[in-house]
Structures are given as structure tokens and as C-alpha cells.
Amino acid sequence: MVRFVVEKPQIMSASQNVVVSETTRSSIIPNNNSSSQKLPPGLISISKKKLLKNIDIINGGGQRINAWVDSMRASSPTHLKSLPSSISSQQQLNSWIMQHPSALEMFEQIMEASRGKQIVMFLDYDGTLSPIVDDPDKAFMSSKMRRTVKKLAKCFPTAIVTGRCIDKVYNFVKLAELYYAGSHGMDIKGPAKGFSRHKRVKQSLLYQPANDYLPMINEVYRQLLEKTKSTPGAKVENHKFCASVHFRCVDEKKWSELVLQVRSVLKEFPTLKLTQGRKVFEIRPMIEWDKGKALEFLLEALGFGNTNNVFPVYIGDDRTDEDAFKMLRDRGEGFGILVSKFPKDTDASYSLQDPSEASLNI
């Protein structure tokens, strides 16, 4: 259960059934009545500044639409390949690799750094354990990758951290011994009973900090389906605590139209934020929770919240994984590995080219 803590005077937004305060801050506090849920340190809060900025992003004019389309182009591999030679030059690539060396080539150094510490593995799914495909329903992981992850989980606590809903990603992975953090970390579950090889978690692990957003996400999903059905190639997914609109198969000439369609829905839901991943729009609750917070929560649940004897490793390919990479840098423990063939601004320490290299690394 989530409640908003506010101070008077208050303004009720009827369309969302959410109280928005005139004060500088309103806090969302997960109710810890359920024995299966654990309240993380501090409050999960929305500042008034962030809320107003979000409304401006959603309701911005033509100039902001053009910015979104430019961002959509930038996320396209076909556009990346056509960048000016000064940007895509081998010299720049070599410089980036020096800053983010191959995790395969640095394997011995990585093992040495982890010596005497408990390794904990965190893995994104799409683009890391499976290739990026046009149809997200067909993003199957290979049998070889599944065997690799299964062997990994025998040695170390292992979690899948994904934007997908848990049920869908579990149908792909089919490993009950893993921890799963779906909906960008807003739906966390531990291994099925009797499957965990690690005894630190004393009870069934379940944490859902955005539980009260379920009706809102379902309504947004319904409206997005209706609004985007006139755009060929657009695919809308409901990930339980967030939603996504894929434009990988949408003609580029239709991108501006799609941006308008998505924003026309979200302008009625100012407590949801719109972000962009790899050829996808992400719609999430405006709470202070992301993959980095999910990583931190899982480490705490595993008993590694206040210890120097842990070595977390996070492998991911998407913008949303940067929250986890940054969390590891801030903690000064473990490291992140970015899966990418192209130079990107990242907080990851190492890099891999594609899921096949990720399989070799794990």
C-alpha cells in the first residue's frame, strides 16, 4: 500500500485520485503492514519541482516533440552507424575501450579484485541474456545461456533485473532458483520455496513499492492500446507496475505522430513519468525507485547491506541499467558491465560487445 503524506493546503486531482501538495515536498511511504515487505531506509519521495518538470515534459510544445524524435533517432543502431566519422572513428572507439575495457580481457584482474568476497550477480534480460529483437514476445534466451545462468546461480546469489513484468521474464528464463526484480525493480521476488541455495534470506522475499499504481498503469495501458492502434508497428506492453510503447517496427515518418499519441494519454497522469530506452518509451510511476534501488534492496535482503565483504556485479545494456551502474560506483563495491557495440556515456567499469560475450563472461 502506498500513501501520500502532505501538508495543507491540498489540491485534489480528480482524474488521478492523487493528492498533490502545495508544499515543496510530498512523500510516498510504502506501508509495511505485510510481513513479506520490507521498508528501505528513508522515504520514497516526489518533489514538487520534479512533478512540475514532468508535467512540462509531457505537455511541451513542438520543440520538445522534435527533441524526442531526435532522441529516438539517436537510439537507433542504423543511425549510430551513419554518424559523422569524427564521432564514430576508430580513435574514439579505442579511447572509449581504454576507459571501459573488455570484461573478457580483464577477467583475471576482476577475479583478483573479488578474492575473499561474496560475489552477487545482477543481470538485465533484453540485450544481455537475449538478443534485441523486433518482437519483444520473441526475445528468447538460448539454451546455452540458460545453462550458464543456472550454473552461475549454483555458485552465487543471482538476480534478473528487468523492465519486463516478472511473469513474462520468468517464462523466458524458467529458473526458479533466481531472484527476480521486474518492472524496473518495482516488483521483487525471491527464489521459489525450496530452490534457494543461499540461506541469508529468512523468509519469502516480496517487495512492491508501487503497489497503489496498479489501477493507474492498467488504465494507461488500455488508453495507449487504443490511442496507438492507428500507428503500424507500435506495440504496447503492460509490465504490471509500468508500461512500454515499442517503436522498433514503426516507420520513422510516424515517430512524431507516436510521440503525440503517447503524450496525449500521459498528460492526464502527471504522477507517471515518460522515459526512453532502446527503441521503446517507458511509462513509470514518479517514485524514487529504479534498478539501482532494487540492487541495493536485494543486497540488504541478502545480508550484505553493511559489509565490505560483498562484490556485486551488474551486467546490462540499457539506459535504465545506468542507475545500477551508478549505485555500484557510489558504493565503491563491485562494478558494472555495459553490453554495447558502440561508445556510450556510462557509469559501467567494463564492457562486452553482445549477449554472446556476456555468456562467456558469466
DSSP-derived pairing of the beta strands 44-47 and 25-30? antiparallel
Is it the case that residue 147 has pLDDT exceeding 70? yes
Domain 212-285 - what CATH class?
Answer: alpha beta
* Helix 255-266 vs helix 214-228: crossing angle, to nearest 10: 150
Q: DSSP 3-state assignment of 192?
A: coil
Residue 290's pLDDT band (boundaries 50, 70, 90)?
Answer: very high
Checking if the pLDDT of 282 tops 50, the result is: yes
pTM assigned to the model: 0.79
Q: What is the pLDDT of residues 55-101, one digit of tens each?
A: 555 555 555 677 777 777 776 654 444 444 444 567 888 889 999 99
pLDDT of residue 266: 95
pLDDT computed for residue 70 by the predictor? 77
**CB-based contacts of 132: which residues, under 8 Å, 6+ apart?**
126, 139, 278, 279, 317
The region of weakest confidence among 148-157, 170-179, 200-209, 313-322 is: 200-209
Q: What is the pLDDT at residue 62?
A: 53
Average confidence score pLDDT of the chain: 82
Secondary structure of residue 202 in the 3-state scheme: coil
CA distance 163 to 323: 13
Domain spans in the chain, listed from the N-terminal domain onward: 90-209+289-359, 212-285
The most confident of 3-12, 66-75, 204-213, by mean pLDDT: 204-213
Residue 10: per-residue pLDDT: 31
139, 130 in Cβ contact below 8 A?
Answer: yes
Looking at domain 90-209+289-359, which CATH architecture does it have? Answer: 3-Layer(aba) Sandwich (3.40)
Angle of helix 291-301 relative to helix 322-331, nearest 10 degrees, comes to: 50
Q: Provide the pLDDT for residue 61.
A: 53
**pLDDT tens digits, one per residue of 229-271:** 999 999 999 999 999 999 999 999 999 999 999 999 999 999 9
CA gap 194, 87 in Å, rounded: 52
Evaluate if residue 35 carries a pLDDT over 70: no
Q: Given this chain, do its domains 90-209+289-359 and 212-285 carry the same CATH topology?
A: no
**How many Cβ atoms sit within 10 Å of the Cβ of residue 60?**
14
Q: How many CB atoms lie within 10 A of CB 72?
A: 21
